[in-house]
Each structure stands twice: as C-alpha cells, then as structure tokens.
Amino acid sequence: MYEGFLPTTKKEMDDLGIEQFDYIYITGDAYVDHPSFGAAIVTRLIESMGFSIGIISQPDWHTDRDFRRFGAPKYAFLVTAGNIDSMVAHYTAAKRKRSDDAYTAGGAAGKRPDRAVIVYCQKLREYFGNVPVIIGGLEASLRRFAHYDYWDDAVRPSVLVDSGADLLMYGMGEHQIQELCTRLAKGENIHEIHDIRGTCYLTEPVNTPLGAAQCPSFEQVRDSKPEYAKAVKIQYDWQDEVYGKTIIQRHGRMMLVQLPPAYSLTTEELDHIYSLPYTRAIHPSYEALGGVPGIEEVRFSITHNRGCFGYCNFCSIALHQGRRITVRSVESVLAEAERITKMPDFKGYIHDVGGPTADFRRPSCDKQLSKGLCMGKKCLAPKPCPALKVDHTEYLSMLRKIRKVKGVKKVFIRSGIRYDYLIEDKDDEFMKELIMHHVSGQLKVAPEHCSAVVLDKMGKPHIEAYKRFQKRFYEITKGMGKEQYLVPYLMSSHPGSTLNEAIDLALFLKENKIRPEQVQDFYPTPGTISTAMFYTELDPYTMEKVYVPKTPKEKAMQRALLQYFLPKNKEIVLEALRAAGRRDLIGTSPKCLVADDNRGQGNNPRKGGDRPWQNTSKTRKASSGPQAKNTGSTKGRSSSFGNSQKSGTRNGQNGKRKH
C-alpha cells in the first residue's frame, strides 16, 4: 500500500513506476483521505486488494486536460459527483445559487458542474470511447430510477441512461466494488456482469430477468403522477436485503434492471474497512487554499454504525444505505480513538461517536435478521412497534471505554440521537450519562413538527414522544445542577402542512419557549418518499391526496411563522394569520403571536423568557451534506463510490439533519 495519499498527479504516477492505473477514480469533491468520506473508503479498499488507483479530483470539465491526466485505466473509470448530489451542493431549497461548497478547497463554489455524474461520464465517452465507466455515490444512487428533479421541475430518466455509463452501484459499495474488481481482473466483460447485488444495468427487454417487480415505465411516470407514486412505493417496498426483489423499469427501448441490495457488511468487514491506512487529512495541495471545510468537525469523529430503522420519509438512508443496523466492534472503535489521540493537532476532544443515528447498536427487533424489515411499516412511527427492543448497554459501555483512553478529555455525540427510541429505554442510565458527559451545552434532536397530520407524512412519531423526552431531559439536567438545553430541529412546508399546521407549530414553539435562529424549508431531493408527495400531491402508500405548499409566498409564510418573534417577519406573519382566519392570534395578549402595532411582544426577540440561543433546523450542507453546515455529525454515511460517510441524508441527502 502507498504511504500517505494516493496519487493525484502524473508525476506521482511516474515516481511510483506505474505505467497504467488499474482504476481511475473521478470525484466532484476535493480529495480528503478520511473514513468519513466514501471516496477514501472505496479507493483505499481497492488499493488494499492489490490494484493501482489514481484520483482525479474536481476535474475542469471545460477542457480535456484533467480527464486525460493519467490516460486510460486498465479496467475502468469510477465516477462520483462527490459526497452529495451536485444540484443540492449548488442550490438552496429556494433554488438560489449557493455561495460556498463545504467539499471544495477554501469552501469555493463552482468547482463541479451541475449534474456532475452525467457531465463527467459524457466527457469520458468523448475522450476515451468505450473504456468501461462505472458510477456510484449519492447522486447516482438516488437517481437510479426515473425520478422527479426539483430543479428541472420534471421527471428525468435514470442517471444510468443520461450518463451513458456501463454500470451503476447503489448503496454502500464495498461488496460491489470488491466483486467487480475481482471479476474484471479475471477478464470478464463489463457488459456481461449482470449478477452483482447492489448494481443496476441496462439491457434489451428480451433479456429482462424473470420474477422481477416491475415499476411503471419512465414514459408512464413522466406523464402520470399516480403512476409515479406507484413506482416509488414499489422501489421502497422491495428495498430489503432479505426479501428484496430485482426491480425493473422500462426506459424506451431498454430495460433498467436493479438487482437486490448488497448484503450489509459484517462487523468483521466493517472493522477491516476502518483499519485501512487513512491519513485522516485533506490533500496537502489544499492547504494554501484554506483547507476543505467539510473535514473540520469529522476529523476527530468516529463512525460506529451504519443504517437506520427510523425510516423518515424525507430521508434518503432507507433507499441508499438501508434500514438494517450494522456495527463495528468495540475494539475497532477504541483502536480508532487511540489513533486519533496520536494526531498532532488533537486537543483531547472527540467530536462524535455516531452514525446515521448515534444510539443504534442493534436491530430494532430480532426477526428482521431472518425475515427482513417489515414492508411499508416503521419501527418507531407513529408509535413504537410492540416488537421494538431498546438497549443502550453496549453503546454506553463503549462510550465509557473511549472516555478512559489516554489523551481523551471529552467525548461528544453530535450525530442524531433518536429521542423517541431513547425515551422507550426503561433504564435511565444512558440518558443520565449522555447528559453528564456527552452534551456540549446543547443536544440536537429532531421532532420536526408538532402536527400529527404533518408528522404522519414525514414518517415521524407524534409530538407526545418529544414532550416525554423533553420533560425527562430537563428533570435529569436540573437534578445534576447543569444548564443544558435541547435544540429541536424543525422543518417548514413539508407535504401535509397547511398554514394552519404551521400556526400550530408556531404556538407550540411559543408555549415551549423555543426560538429557532434558523428554519429549513422542505427540500425535495431525488428519490425520497416525501419528494414523491411533493411532486404528485399523493401519498404513495395510500394514494390519498396530500396538501403541498408550493408557492414561494406560502413557503415564506410558513417559514416566517416559525420565527414569528423576529421584527422583520411581522408583516408576513400578520398576512399569514389573516389568510388563515386566525386574527385571534394578533394582538398583545399572552396568547398572541404578533402585535398589530409597533409596541407588541412580537417585536422583541428576547422578550418573554424565550431562549434565543436555541438554534433550529440549519441547512447543513456538510452535507447540506449532502449543506452553518453540520459537519460535526457523522450521519448518513455511505461509501458507494463517494458519498460522505456523513452525508447521505436527511431531507434527501444533504448531510443535513435526518432524524
């Protein structure tokens, strides 16, 4: 294996005596060799198998210079847009151009093209003809079927069709890439490798495998919203590694074939992945440009699990990473903690020990190991399943051991804690130690809304679970003599939310003395159930009509209602209340949200004992991303070619909050 970073220049290639790389990896991100980034995991894994690999990071797509840097690979080009969907990286939920990019040196925007996977692949075809091209990562994974594209406001075909690539890897990519590399080295033709789980390919309809679940075709879902909703349900229903089926979808004269998901990595396999010789740093070429913002919080973070059975409708994890929980061994996590303590700039603080959901260390129930996760059902919503098994014992034991590692002063948990799971634990021991040792003044949790109507469309538990958790959190905190607070993430304008639901949420915030500094609008990102609702105005699981706030005016009203206390929002809040027929909430009495003159309580954002420090629902592009950016989280991690091991998704995939 190489010592230090993998080669990125022709000089490094020549210095290593390599005449032709086996694989060339092209990414829309800056090169960061850290296991929180899928690019690092995939390239290190390929290297560990004995193959040579070169990295082309953020190639200039206006010229052939970067693409031709190494010549053609022996086996294949591997292409990813990077840690997040390139359109999410470039545009806000309001479709405004972003001014920064957390995965680019210096945070500079514009270093990757829109729809990067398509652009990169088309350039490779132009310059290298029929050299095999394989795509993966979040952008490819979540666009593998015909999908609604928010930025075009139209249904686009599978990215495999638009890109012209030979094969698409979806989900976590380690098993797929290992099998593919082995078989290509044996001389198999990429066009004949049609049996690797976790991949998609195009074929003539006559070659369609038997027994597959068929979605309505691209043409049908493009032209009919009910057909689109039906297709999304099929795609989610059969997304299980135990009972999942091959899924097919006709695209013109070709058939898109998605094979069942790859099997989750075992604990031993995960341990191996995290033992590879990462430098845990950005490439030195970026130092003079100010570094890469996306690494700052995860530099000293540890991923201990994968998957999430929370299964929120706006989150991409179920369709990409999967609902089954897999974990690293405690020994592997401790070994990584010890490696972190030896890093020259380590100050004693481990920023996170988490994953998509930090406190999941076991399946939600035992039967899913042999039967799979229940089709169309959720383990925690609207109420916890009777079969749910809640156990924080191993996670707590692991945290205690990390705290004892020499050089560690403090261990924080910054990725998502599922409060609805935690509050079901009959033993308070974990919650007490969480509050005592692992909260840095504020604990971020995600009730998202208070309306049962909206929460049902989100796939989230009802607000009573949050109230129970909030009550117990403050009881324990007060009992310890500590001053710590909950920071609840909230979302405006999700499908199902009318102005009345937004007003209910504003009243809930007022009652609980919560004043969010920032609010996130629902962002319709590719592939999620919530995005299907946004586009079709139908619930894919009931085919019932769903109210969807779509106009900029109504979205602005709903967002402003969650910050009713800000003077700048006064007029739009007044307009929203009048439009909803809620003039009873206009005035100076304690029940009102906003005054009707300049002397009302709504004009002093710190009046009335509310907590102005409470920071809710940032657009966290660490993602989002997946995109302040919540790069301190290790959520939503994925590795198929190059999603951030932290970005993947809430609200799609932006590295924004998910749970």
Give the residue numbers of the binding site for [4Fe-4S] cluster: 308, 312, 315
DSSP letters, 588-645, are SSTT-SB-SSTTSGGG-TTTTS-BTT-----------------TT--TT---SSS-BT
Residue 404: in which H helix or E strand, if any?
none
Closest CA relative to residue 240, chosen from 169, 145, 314, 322? 322
Beta-ladder partners of 487: 444
> What is d(CA 619, CA 657) in angstroms, rounded to the nearest whole number?
8
Neighbours of 232 (CB within 10 A): 26
> What is d(CA 317, CA 297) in angstroms, rounded to the nearest whole number?
21
Tell me the CB-side half-sphere exposure of residue 627, using CA atoms within 13 A.
40
> What is d(CA 323, CA 116) in angstroms, rounded to the nearest whole number?
28
Encode burial over 602-617: b for 16+ CB neighbours within 10 A, e otherwise: beebeeeebeeebbbb
Encode burial over 382-417: b for 16+ CB neighbours within 10 A, e otherwise: eebeeeeebebeebbebbeebbeeeebeebbbbbbb
* Residue 457, phi then psi, degrees to nearest 5: -75, -25
Residue 76: both structure tokens together: 């294949």
Encode burial over 627-645: b for 16+ CB neighbours within 10 A, e otherwise: bebbbbbbbbbbbbbbbbb
- Look-up of token digits 């990077």: 82
Residue 531: both structure tokens together: 């995005």
Structural contact between residues 460 and 312, judged by C-beta atoms closer than 8 angstroms: yes
Task: Write the Ramachandran bin of 129: left for phi over 0, alpha for psi from -120 to 50, otherwise beta.
Answer: left
- Look-up of token digits 């847009």: 81
> What is d(CA 622, CA 298) in angstroms, rounded to the nearest whole number?
10
Q: Report the binding-site residues.
A: 308, 312, 315
**N-to-C CA span, the chain:** 38
Closest CA relative to residue 172, chosen from 327, 23, 38? 38
Beta-ladder partners of 256: 202, 249
Residue type, 292: V
Beta-ladder partners of 80: 27
Cα angle, residue 531 at apex, residues 527 and 536 outer, rounded to 5°: 115
> What is d(CA 623, CA 313) in angstroms, rounded to the nearest whole number?
18
Q: Is 59 helix (H, G, I), strand (E, B) or coil?
A: coil
Residue 378: both structure tokens together: 């959720």
* Residue 154, phi then psi, degrees to nearest 5: -160, 165
Beta-ladder partners of 257: 201, 248
Closest CA relative to residue 30, chosen from 104, 110, 113, 120? 104
